[in-house]
Amino acid sequence: MRATADAGTAPHDLPSVSETAFKTAMRALASTVCVITSRHSGEANGMTATAVSSVAADPPTVLVAVNRDNRSHALIRDGACFALNILCSDQHELALQFATRALQPFATVAFSEGVTGCPLIDGCGTVLECALTSSFDVATHTIFIGRVVASRGSGGSPLLYWDGQFGTVR
């Protein structure tokens, strides 16, 4: 039987799944763990993130989704830049540390400063620095789009997050 265009309910009229069902489903996604660093007016921060994606190669573009309650949100918005520090498999302590709101986020973290002024964390396999090009709000989060203005490193075994736990591929 062929489906007809008017079969079923209009997609926008369908109910959402529950938040619990959504979170359970999202546990099936294996994601690479990053620390998004930011800087504005002399204040620097970092936050652990997995809602990160490549968007396009020309111009080189990535996106990150940041909760508007996070301290990093205003720094990325007002500083108009961010850096994606892609963590290696041996850096899960950094992932835990940057998932808290430390008073001095970089007190015990070795880093250098990039061309954007954002902190670049030592020991990461890959670091991308981005200039903010656009943003839009979706529910509780803002999608920040960044053009990649500098990159360093060449990969290495990444730190993954899957089913609520950190893991590695090898």
Ligand X SMILES: Cc1cc2nc3c(=O)[nH]c(=O)nc-3n(C[C@H](O)[C@H](O)[C@H](O)COP(=O)(O)O)c2cc1C
Query: Shortest approach of ligand X to residue 37 CB, angstroms?
Result: 10
* Residues binding ligand X (CB under 6 A): 33, 45, 47-51, 65-67, 70-72, 99-101, 161
Query: Shortest approach of ligand X to residue 6 CB, angstroms?
Result: 38
Tokens of 80: 């108009």
Query: Shortest approach of ligand X to residue 44 CB, angstroms?
Result: 11
Using a 10 angstrom Cβ sphere, with 0-12 exposed, 13-18 middle and 19 or more buried, the burial of residue 64 is buried
- Which of 71/152 has CB closer to ligand X? 71
Query: Shortest approach of ligand X to residue 151 CB, angstroms?
Result: 20
- Which of 9/165 has CB closer to ligand X? 165
- Which of 13/19 has CB closer to ligand X? 19
Using a 10 angstrom Cβ sphere, with 0-12 exposed, 13-18 middle and 19 or more buried, the burial of residue 28 is exposed
**From CA 159, how far away is CA 10, in angstroms rounded?**
40
* Backbone torsions φ then ψ of 92, nearest 5 degrees: -70, -25
- Which of 70/116 has CB closer to ligand X? 70
Minimal CA–CA distance to 82: which of 143, 33, 22?
143
